[in-house]
Amino acid sequence: MAVGVLAIAGGVWQTYQIFTNQAPMIEIFKLDKEQGTFLPETPAKTQDELVGQQMQQLLQEQLGKLIPADTITKLLNLTVWSIFMGILVFAAGKIAAIGVALLKS
């Protein structure tokens, strides 16, 4: 029972520290800082291809300003951490329930 309660308390405490920015977030997903915008390998041959490439570059720049690249990875890391903590709390609850059942018998 004590193991289950300690696992729950430890998981909740670690999650609290991560969400309040007191502890560094565990990075499962990482963004390569050297990644730039997509540039086509072949130069445009026609006017239509040139316009298409310019539109694509403009769209990438605007999306980069709207949603910073590290925001998506942070959201994914927090989601994975939350799922992991949910599994941990569920498993620790089962361990605590087994401990209570053993104490009753």
Residue 68 lies in a domain: yes
Structure token pair of residue 63: 């999306």
Looking at every residue in the chain, the average pLDDT score rounds to 79
pLDDT (average), residues 97-102: 87
Q: Has residue 37 been placed in a domain?
A: no
Whether pLDDT at 18 is above 60: yes
Domain residue limits at 49: 2-27+45-99
Per-residue model confidence (pLDDT) at position 35:
54
Nearest-5° angle of CA 76, CA 73, CA 25? 80
Q: Is residue 36 domain-resident?
A: no
Q: Which two tokens stand for residue 79?
A: 């989601």
Residue 34's pLDDT is 54
* Amino acid letter, residue 94: K
Task: Flag whether 55 is in a domain.
Answer: yes
User: Can you tell me the distance from the alpha carbon of 93 to that of 86, in angstroms, rounded to the nearest whole number?
Assistant: 10
pTM: 0.56
Q: Rounding to the nearest 10 degrees, give the CA dihedral for residues 58, 63, 65, 70.
A: -130
pLDDT, tens digit, 9 for 90 and up, residues 49-99: 888 888 888 887 887 778 777 788 888 888 888 888 888 888 888 888 888
Total domains, the chain: 1
Q: Which residues of 71-84 are buried (b: 16+ CB within 10 A; e: fewer)?
A: eebeeebeeebeee
Q: Which residue has the higher pLDDT, 102 or 37?
A: 102
Q: Looking at the domain assignment, is residue 35 inside a domain?
A: no
Local confidence band at 42 (pLDDT 50, 70, 90 cut-offs)? low
